Amino acid sequence: MEIGIIVLLVVVVAAIIWWAWRVLNWVWLRPRKLEKCLRQQGLTGNSYRVLLGDLKERSQMIKQANSKPINLSHDIVHRVMPYIHKCIHNYGKNSFIWLGPKPLVLIRDPELWREILSKNYHFQKPQANPLTNLLAAGLATFETEKWSKHRKIINPAFHLEKLKHMLPAFDLSCSEMLSKWEKMVSEKESCELDVWPYLQTLSSDVISRTAFGSSYEEGTRIFELQREQAELVLQVSQSIYIPGWRFLPTKRNKRMKEINKEVHASLRVIIEKRLKAMKAGEASNVDLLSILLESNFKETQRHGDKKNVGMSTEEVVEECKLFYFAGQETTSALLVWTMVLLSRHSNWQKRAREEVLQVFGNNKPDLDGLNHLKIVTMILYEVLRLYPPAAAMTRTIHEDTKLGEISFPAGVHLSLPIIQIHHDHELWGDDAEEFKPERFAEGVSKVTKGQVSFFPFGWGPRICIGQNFAMLEAKMALAMILQRFSFELSPSYAHAPYIVIILQPQYGAHLILHKV
């Protein structure tokens, strides 16, 4: 009996020592080793602080930056990414910060960006806090073979030939929004309006119709829940990830799981209804969900009874969550910043309107005409340069890797600060903070000189699958707005770009609309 107790005590003590060693290695030994390796190669940054690293100061700076608007200029990096901005100011371009016990190295060399983004199997996205995946764990979060499988199945839904059939849905959604604006403007000849919620509703309506064939009202609850989830995910991303924390019944954890459960249930009903219609030969092949389900069915049929072929219903649900969030947020942000910038630069608004009226007159925009809108395209590219939807991308290294002149040890994160790169004077010239669409007059490759310095939708194999969808929707919406309205900034407009997953106006976008 005594021997058994002794053995048990030895096992318990060994387990405690083992866990203590793992914790010590995680919070101190490993970070210090990584820091030493980075500093030996000329990289600089704050000294590692136990467990939290720079997270506390970073969070405080973001909170302070968001406490008030800034002057009306495109010099926004200091507000959007205050800690990164400070780090580069203090330590230069070859610097790093601490996300808890993980160092994040800022990569500012275009040739290194090319290598990182082209080798997507080697440079992968960091393992996310499982709570953040509750927002959407589809194609955007998968890696290697699973990513490749999903990309192959989803690709057909975003071919330009398929997108052409979605123009009527774009037109219907835009017309409904513009009719509301016309009614308000007609009463007073002009009208002050916060266009941001209207543009969010527009893009929500578009994604509902094009992805699921339903009207916005049927998807309203899902959109509301996904927006709330995005706010909660942002809070989670600004705190250190502690394994097992997600299982604690905190108020935030419980709410995130409630939202996920409700969104899943709603999407399952839509998917099962569509599958039933497909089996009965009633479903039409005109929306993203139908195309995805058909592509998934063909992939499964092609490989017979092989395992891990095609997507499960749960995986389709996750892709639908991604449709809802990414499809809505990216386009609405692009449109709102475009309207804000054209309100400030009336000459470019006038030139864009003249081009739209020359191509379409007062007729509905069509695909061929949209593809010939050169000035509108230049404007949208310049807006995406100055106000990219995603402020940064992060990749991680799982094995010791030489990148350029630096040998990075496994466990280091790499940051590609998109907004910093898009505003870099060395890459874009002394006028980098100015709105100058003419810089894109001869296309992206000409102005970037073949460098990877403009990537609002990412770059390489993992470039955003929905970029053509987003650009087509934005062109059509902007064309229809310009056909009917001119607009200027309201005196009540407050310039406050900030991040809730994507870059958006913190206090809305108050403009004054005039009927053309």
Q: Write the DSSP assignment of 162-188 as a string of letters.
A: HHHTTHHHHHHHHHHHHHHHHHHHHHH
Is the pLDDT at 173 greater than 90? The verdict is yes
Q: Which two tokens stand for residue 189?
A: 């000849």
DSSP H stretches of helix in 345-417: 346-360, 367-370, 374-386
213 confidence band (pLDDT: 50, 70, 90): confident
pLDDT in tens, 385-435: 999 999 999 999 999 999 988 999 999 999 999 999 999 999 999 999 999
Q: Residue 299 corresponds to which amino acid?
A: E
Q: Which two tokens stand for residue 443?
A: 């296309």
pLDDT, averaged across the chain: 90
Q: What is the reported pLDDT for 458?
A: 93
Q: What is the mean pLDDT of residues 212-230?
A: 76
What are the φ/ψ torsions at residue 106 (nearest 5 degrees)?
Answer: -85, 125
pLDDT in tens, 272-292: 888 888 888 776 667 888 888
pLDDT in tens, 123-133: 999 887 787 88
Separation of alpha carbons 437 and 424, rounded Å? 16
Is the pLDDT at 1 greater than 60? The verdict is no
pLDDT in tens, 36-61: 999 999 999 999 999 899 999 999 99
pLDDT in tens, 301-332: 887 656 667 888 888 888 888 887 787 889 99
Question: What are 96's strand-pairing partners?
Answer: 45, 105
Residue bearing tokens 């002394």: 430
349 confidence band (pLDDT: 50, 70, 90): very high
Whether residue 389 contacts residue 329, with contact meaning beta carbons closer than 8 Å, is answered with yes
Q: Which two tokens stand for residue 6?
A: 């002794």
Q: What is the reported pLDDT for 481?
A: 98
Separation of alpha carbons 396 and 409, rounded Å? 10
Of 149, 124, 150, the residue nearest 136 (C-alpha): 150
Is the pLDDT at 222 greater than 80? The verdict is yes
* Angle, alpha carbons 306-307-310 (nearest 5°): 90
Separation of alpha carbons 392 and 485, rounded Å? 34
Whether residue 309 contacts residue 300, with contact meaning beta carbons closer than 8 Å, is answered with yes
User: What's the farthest any 2 CA atoms get from each other in the chain?
Assistant: 95
pTM: 0.92
> pLDDT above 90 covers what percent of the chain?
65
> pLDDT above 70 covers what percent of the chain?
97
Beta strands at 413-416 and 102-106: parallel, antiparallel or unpaired: parallel
Q: What is the reported pLDDT for 285?
A: 63
pLDDT in tens, 11-43: 899 999 999 999 999 999 999 999 999 999 999
Q: What is the reported pLDDT for 283?
A: 62
Mean pLDDT lowest for which of 91-95, 156-160, 212-216, 296-300?
212-216
Q: Residue 472 corresponds to which amino acid?
A: L
Is the pLDDT at 216 greater than 70? The verdict is no
Q: Which two tokens stand for residue 342?
A: 């054209």
202 confidence band (pLDDT: 50, 70, 90): very high
Separation of alpha carbons 163 and 146, rounded Å? 25
Q: What is the reported pLDDT for 278?
A: 80
pLDDT in tens, 228-267: 888 888 888 777 777 777 778 899 999 999 999 999 898 8
> Residue 441: helix, strand or coil by DSSP?
coil
What are the φ/ψ torsions at residue 95 (nearest 5 degrees)?
Answer: -135, 170
Q: Residue 148 corresponds to which amino acid?
A: S
CB atoms within 10 A of CB 354: 12
